């Protein structure tokens, strides 16, 4: 049974841990504010580009550009965006679980991984999976150049017929409390012409647009940029999600530390009171013995 000094040391240790978790929560909150501003600025551009590319693809034949052509083969490239550091709750766990479910559906032997983030690399390098590329994640401010390098690598593998499909898994930032792992197909691009025409008809908008010099040439120049922008957006979403998850996890850890300190303090007071009562009983017993 622990004594009073043991409980005192434990209370001090928990208080020190609580100071660390509170500091980490404040740092994560400051980083989250900047990351949220970045993703809110990038989302409209990425979504409009996706809408434009989908519109151009629907007006062009799949044979007009190799990034639109689907071979129907099973070889799949999967880009998984995780974090470099832990202490962010289930952020990385949910992404890895999503990746494993995807690999089970496609067949693990048919999936090659491109990993961004040390946590994903640490997990998958100990398993029997093919890793074609890996790099650390820059969660403070992801660079567009990093996204461009990854995009060129995946596009080269796709054009070299080493991959038949390319997908990306990342955590979409909803709020500081909610981050949703999503799977998005990057290559080959799948136009959603039917849904777009229906929405345009309902809103009464004209969908007739003239492209110069031609639809195919505009699409040819835009498609590689589209892949780069989508990967860059995923990096920004993941950075904001990581900071939100870490802020929530550290807040929960701080509250748990407060509960533990309260419980230990109560236990300490009870043991101290029991020791005082025992000493008083001994004094009284000794006093009574002297009277006799």
Q: What is the pLDDT of residues 253-276, one digit of tens each?
A: 999 999 999 999 999 999 999 888
Q: What is the pTM of this model?
A: 0.84
133 has catalytic annotation: no
Catalytic residue among 88, 115, 155, 229: 88
Confidence (pLDDT) at 192: 54
pLDDT at 252 over 80: yes
Domain ranges across the chain: 4-21+249-291, 29-236
Confidence (pLDDT) at 207: 55
pLDDT at 167 over 90: yes
170 DSSP β-pair partners: 182
How many Cβ atoms sit within 10 Å of the Cβ of residue 106? 16
pLDDT in tens, 100-120: 999 999 998 999 999 999 999
The pLDDT > 90 percentage for the chain reads 64
pLDDT at 283 over 50: yes
pLDDT, greater one: 158 or 56:
158
The pLDDT > 70 percentage for the chain reads 92
User: Using 50, 70 and 90 to split pLDDT, how confident is the model at 208?
Assistant: low
- Please state which of the four CATH numbers 3.40.50.720, 3.40.1380.10, 2.60.40.2140, 3.40.640.10 is assigned to the domain occupying 29-236: 3.40.1380.10
Q: Distance between CA atoms of 269 and 259, rounded to whole angstroms?
A: 15
Name the maximum alpha-carbon separation found in the chain.
117
pLDDT averaged over the chain?
A: 88
Q: Distance between CA atoms of 38 and 265, rounded to whole angstroms?
A: 44
Distance of CA 119 to the CA centre of its chain: 11
User: Using 50, 70 and 90 to split pLDDT, how confident is the model at 197?
Assistant: very low
- Please state which of the four CATH numbers 2.60.40.1180, 1.10.287.80, 3.30.470.20, 3.40.50.1240 is assigned to the domain occupying 4-21+249-291: 1.10.287.80
């Amino acid at each position: 049974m622990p004594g009073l000094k043991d409980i005192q040391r434990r209370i001090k240790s928990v208080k020190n841990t609580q100071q660390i978790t509170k500091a980490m929560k404040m740092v994560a909150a400051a980083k989250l504010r900047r990351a949220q501003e970045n993703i809110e600025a990038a989302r409209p551009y990425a979504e409009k580009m996706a809408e434009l590319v989908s519109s151009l693809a629907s007006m062009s034949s799949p044979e007009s550009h190799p990034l639109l052509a689907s071979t129907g083969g099973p070889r799949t490239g999967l880009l998984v965006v995780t974090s470099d550091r832990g202490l962010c709750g289930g952020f990385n766990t949910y992404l890895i679980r999503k990746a494993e479910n995807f690999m089970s559906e496609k067949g693990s032997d048919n999936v090659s991984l491109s990993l961004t983030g040390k946590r994903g690399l640490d997990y998958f390098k100990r398993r029997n999976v093919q890793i074609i590329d890996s790099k650390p994640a820059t969660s403070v401010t992801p660079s567009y150049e990093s996204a461009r390098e990854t995009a060129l690598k995946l596009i080269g593998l796709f054009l070299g017929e080493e991959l038949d499909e390319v997908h990306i898994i990342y955590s979409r930032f909803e709020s500081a409390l909610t981050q949703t792992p999503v799977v998005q197909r990057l290559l080959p691009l799948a136009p959603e012409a039917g849904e777009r025409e229906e929405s345009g008809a309902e809103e009464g908008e004209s969908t007739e647009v003239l492209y110069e010099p031609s639809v195919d040439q505009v699409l040819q120049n835009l498609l590689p940029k589209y892949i780069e922008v989508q990967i860059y957006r995923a990096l920004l979403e993941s950075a904001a999600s990581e900071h939100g998850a870490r802020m929530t996890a550290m807040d929960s850890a701080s509250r748990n530390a407060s509960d533990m300190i309260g419980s230990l303090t109560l236990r300490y007071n009870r043991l101290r009171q029991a020791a005082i009562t025992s000493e008083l009983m001994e004094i009284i017993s000794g006093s009574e013995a002297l009277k006799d």
